[in-house]
Amino acid sequence: MGVRKLSISVPSEVEETIKAAAAEEGKPVSTWLTEAAVEKARAATLYAAGRAAAQELVAEYESEHGKLPEEFRQRARAFLAEAGLFDDEPWQAAG
């Protein structure tokens, strides 16, 4: 696996958090950021797979029983948001 240099911009308070976390784990910042990026990519893949599976289940239900009532959709969204699995306002990357 080759190594490439990457330049990123982060707010100063995020820089402090990254450096502290890397130091706490006894890792260079670049290693810590690489591991964090891989973890985030894996989580995004799992999230997408879960979302696709949920959409498939809803489509299957609706094909057999008709449209899922809006009240049920709202309750499901509220449950997922409370569980930390649904976010109406995704995190925005720095500049």
pLDDT per residue as tens digits for the range 31-42: 999 999 999 999
Q: Show the low-confidence residues of the chain (pLDDT under 50).
A: 91-95
Helix axes 29-65, 12-24, angle to 10 degrees: 100
**Structure token digits, residue 40:** 């985030």
Task: Give the Cα separation of 95 and 93 in Å (integer).
Answer: 7
Residue 65 near residue 57 (C-beta atoms within 8 A): no
Closest listed residue to residue 90, CA positions, set 46, 55, 47, 37: 47
Q: How far, in Å, CA of 27 to CA of 16, rounded?
A: 15
